[in-house]
Amino acid sequence: MNKQFLVDEKGNVKSVLLDYEDFKQIEELLLDNTLGKLMSQISNEEEFDLAHVKKELNIEL
């Protein structure tokens, strides 16, 4: 992974520059991880099919 650091006048790291492809890979991993956590939170909830939801909301099929 190619990265560059931007530092202030005291040498403290303030930002990191990543190649765009590296950034996209990291972003995808973070999104996948978050989606997995959200899916596990709702895995025990009752499921409804579309016809049931439309009937409950009084939406015509």
Condensed to tens digits (0 to 9), the pLDDT of residues 2-57 reads: 899 999 999 999 999 999 999 999 999 999 999 888 888 887 778 888 888 888 89
pLDDT confidence of residue 61:
59
CB 20 within 8 A of CB 3: no
Question: What whole-number distance in Å separates Cα of residue 22 and Cα of residue 30?
Answer: 12
Question: What whole-number distance in Å separates Cα of residue 10 and Cα of residue 26?
Answer: 29
CB 60 within 8 A of CB 54: yes
